[in-house]
């Protein structure tokens, strides 16, 4: 059950250009690392064993590039991907950096801002189509408020719906075959962002014209910022057939937006997440949306990227060890053992309800079943700490 934790294409690890290309700016300090060309980042990723690269339009093509420059940049990038065996797995439009989006993009009150956001999105979809990307992420980073005096929040919901419906129709009309993945975040850069959690987006998706094309892209840090359990959010998305993509990183609850290396802050939570993804056979990209500490140089950025993948593979091995542990499996069997004779609760029928209503439950005896979760958790910790 041991391996050397070497990342392979079959693991489907991917990184955004904005992650390994992050220059270490924060609200209080300027960039600490020089820019690295996208083609060079692709080389790093290929050498590190990543399968895919993700990008926003402007991570690759500057916002004011001429058509000729754009075409040259895209051709060079495609060449680098081919040379280093890296696929472009996901694309998105940057609808948060430019000042035009200071009060949102699709949810702005200004029809020209909404129009420009949609135009930029269609062009990003064309770019992704050219690069062969199959996932399109919508992260509404600026779609929110500091004061709710500016618009009724249900107007924002309706505008976002119109935008996503448009995006789906455009993908169909152009044969792109995109799967659209909506990414929630509770706050930062806005005081409050609409659709703060993955659960909120799962509800919204059912109201879309092409709901079958739309899923979610949960991010560890974003669920943690809301004080929530990422694995529970992921499980709900998975069970609904909506886990199209995932953003792996880490975040201490209650802190600023940290985007730490995967599992850097909460290895136990990361373990249960990896175990879930592996147990259910998740096969979409495993994207690391994180960045290196601001203290790092280029070599430190590569340490960071290697660390994300290595930790995932270590946790995957721990999950297999956990699943194969006889004592753990014995406890799991015990706590969910059958109660022969108990009426079925799976499905209502008049006969089932009659049987249930007539049944005499021995409440006190039932309540005495042993639930040795201290033991179960300690065994988990011992596996994680390498003592088992
Ligand atoms: C931005 C954000 C991420 C999103 C990206 C997709 S951009 O870096 O912090 O969580 O996934 O637009
Ligand atoms: Mn984030
Ligand atoms: Mn993200």
- Claim to verify: residue 333 and residue 213 sit in the same structural domain: no
Q: What is the mean pLDDT of residues 357-381?
A: 97
Question: Has residue 2 been placed in a domain?
Answer: no
Q: What is the mean pLDDT of residues 151-170?
A: 98
CA distance 104 to 192: 12
Domain boundary among 279, 298, 319: 319
Provide the 3-class DSSP secondary structure of residue 336. coil
Q: Rounded to the nearest whole angstrom, what is the distance from the C-alpha of residue 289 to the centroid of ligand 3?
A: 5
Asked if the model's pLDDT at residue 1 lies above 90, the reply is no
Per the structure, the count of domains in the chain is 2
Helix axis angle for 373-384 and 326-335, nearest 10°, is 150
Q: Choose, from 57, 59, 247, 289, the residue flagged as catalytic.
A: 59
Q: Specify the ligand 1 atom closest to the Cα of 259.
A: 9
Domain boundary among 279, 300, 319: 319
- Claim to verify: residue 261 and residue 372 sit in the same structural domain: no
- Claim to verify: residue 186 and residue 207 sit in the same structural domain: yes
Question: Has residue 4 been placed in a domain?
Answer: no
CA distance 54 to 89: 6
DSSP class of residue 282 equals -
Question: Has residue 351 been placed in a domain?
Answer: yes
Q: Is 18 in the pocket of ligand 1 (CB under 6 A)?
A: yes
Query: pLDDT tens digit string along 89-106?
Result: 999 999 999 999 999 999
Of all protein residues, the one whose alpha carbon is nearest to atom 8 of ligand 1 is 18
Question: Has residue 379 been placed in a domain?
Answer: yes
Length of the chain measured in residues? 388
Asked if the model's pLDDT at residue 283 lies above 60, the reply is yes
Question: Has residue 100 been placed in a domain?
Answer: yes
Q: What is the mean pLDDT of residues 298-326?
A: 98
- Claim to verify: residue 131 and residue 30 sit in the same structural domain: yes
- Claim to verify: residue 297 and residue 334 sit in the same structural domain: no
CA distance 266 to 258: 13
Q: Is 135 in the pocket of ligand 1 (CB under 6 A)?
A: no
CA distance 90 to 132: 9
- Claim to verify: residue 309 and residue 341 sit in the same structural domain: no
Which of these, 380, 372, 373, lies nearest to 268 by C-alpha position? 380
In angstroms, the Cα distances linking 92 to 151, 222, 334, 343 are 26, 18, 47, 51
- Claim to verify: residue 157 and residue 113 sit in the same structural domain: yes
Q: Is 103 in the pocket of ligand 1 (CB under 6 A)?
A: no
Whole-angstrom distance between the N-terminal and C-terminal Cα of the chain? 13
| Average pLDDT along the chain | 97
| CATH number, domain containing residue 96 | 3.20.20.150
Is residue 143 a contact partner of residue 193, using CB atoms and an 8 Å limit?
yes
- The residue with greater pLDDT, 169 or 346, is 169
- Claim to verify: residue 216 and residue 360 sit in the same structural domain: no
- Claim to verify: residue 231 and residue 347 sit in the same structural domain: no
- Claim to verify: residue 209 and residue 344 sit in the same structural domain: no
pLDDT confidence bin for 4, thresholds 50/70/90: confident
Asked if the model's pLDDT at residue 2 lies above 90, the reply is no
Question: Has residue 218 been placed in a domain?
Answer: yes
Q: Is 205 in the pocket of ligand 1 (CB under 6 A)?
A: no
- Name the residue range of residue 331's domain: 326-384
CA distance 19 to 304: 10
Query: pLDDT tens digit string along 8-40?
Result: 999 999 999 999 999 999 999 999 999 999 999
- Claim to verify: residue 175 and residue 225 sit in the same structural domain: yes
Which of these, 207, 208, 227, 128, lies nearest to 171 by C-alpha position? 128
- Claim to verify: residue 77 and residue 212 sit in the same structural domain: yes
Question: Has residue 107 been placed in a domain?
Answer: yes
Question: Has residue 3 been placed in a domain?
Answer: no
Ligand 1 pocket test: which of 18, 20, 143, 188 has the largest number of ligand atoms within 8 Å of its C-beta? Answer: 18
> pTM of the predicted model, to two decimals?
0.97
Tokens matching residue 281: 């056979």
CA distance 262 to 221: 10
Asked if the model's pLDDT at residue 216 lies above 70, the reply is yes
Tokens matching residue 136: 């399109």
Asked if the model's pLDDT at residue 150 lies above 70, the reply is yes
Domain boundary among 279, 303, 319: 319
Query: pLDDT tens digit string along 246-282?
Result: 999 999 999 999 999 999 999 999 999 999 999 999 9
Burial of 317 (0-12, 13-18, 19+ CB in 10 A): middle
Q: Which pairs count as long-range contacts for 238-241, CB under 8 Å and 24+ apart, including other chains?
A: 238/276, 238/280, 238/282, 240/202, 241/215
Provide the 3-class DSSP secondary structure of residue 144. strand
């Amino acid at each position: 059950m041991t391996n050397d934790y070497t990342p392979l294409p079959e693991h489907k690890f991917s990184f955004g250009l904005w992650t390994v290309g992050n220059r270490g700016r924060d609200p209080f300090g300027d960039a600490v690392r020089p820019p690295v060309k996208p083609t060079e980042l692709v080389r790093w990723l290929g050498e590190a064993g990543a399968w895919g690269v993700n990008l926003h339009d402007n991570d690759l093509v500057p916002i004011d590039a001429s058509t000729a420059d754009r075409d040259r940049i895209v051709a060079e990038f495609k060449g680098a991907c081919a040379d280093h065996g890296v696929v472009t797995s996901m694309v998105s439009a940057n609808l948060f950096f430019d000042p035009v989006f200071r009060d949102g993009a699709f949810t702005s009150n200004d029809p020209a801002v909404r129009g420009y956001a949609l135009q930029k999105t269609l062009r990003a979809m064309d770019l992704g189509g050219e690069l062969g990307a199959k996932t399109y992420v919508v992260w509404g980073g600026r779609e929110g408020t500091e004061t709710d005096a500016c618009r009724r929040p249900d107007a924002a919901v309706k505008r976002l719906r119109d935008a996503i419906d448009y995006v789906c129709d455009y993908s169909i009309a152009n044969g792109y075959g995109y799967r659209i993945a909506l990414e929630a975040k509770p706050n930062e850069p806005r005081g409050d962002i609409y659709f703060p959690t993955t659960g909120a987006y799962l509800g919204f998706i059912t109201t879309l014209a092409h709901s079958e094309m739309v899923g979610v892209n949960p991010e560890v840090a974003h669920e943690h910022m809301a004080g929530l359990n990422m694995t529970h959010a992921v499980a709900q998305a998975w069970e609904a057939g909506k886990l199209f993509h995932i953003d792996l990183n880490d975040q201490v609850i209650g802190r600023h937006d940290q985007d730490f290396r995967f599992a850097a802050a909460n290895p136990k939570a990361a373990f249960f997440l990896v175990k879930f993804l592996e147990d259910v056979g998740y096969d979409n990209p495993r994207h690391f949306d994180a960045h290196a500490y601001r203290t790092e140089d280029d070599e430190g950025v590569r340490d960071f990227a290697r660390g994300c993948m290595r930790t995932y593979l270590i946790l995957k091995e721990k999950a297999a060890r956990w699943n194969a542990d006889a004592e753990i499996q014995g406890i799991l069997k015990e706590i969910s053992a059958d109660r022969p004779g108990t009426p079925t609760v799976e499905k209502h029928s008049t006969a089932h309800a009659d049987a249930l209503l007539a049944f005499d439950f021995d409440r006190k005896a039932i309540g005495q079943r042993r639930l040795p979760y201290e033991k179960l958790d300690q065994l988990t910790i011992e596996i994680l700490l390498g003592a088992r």
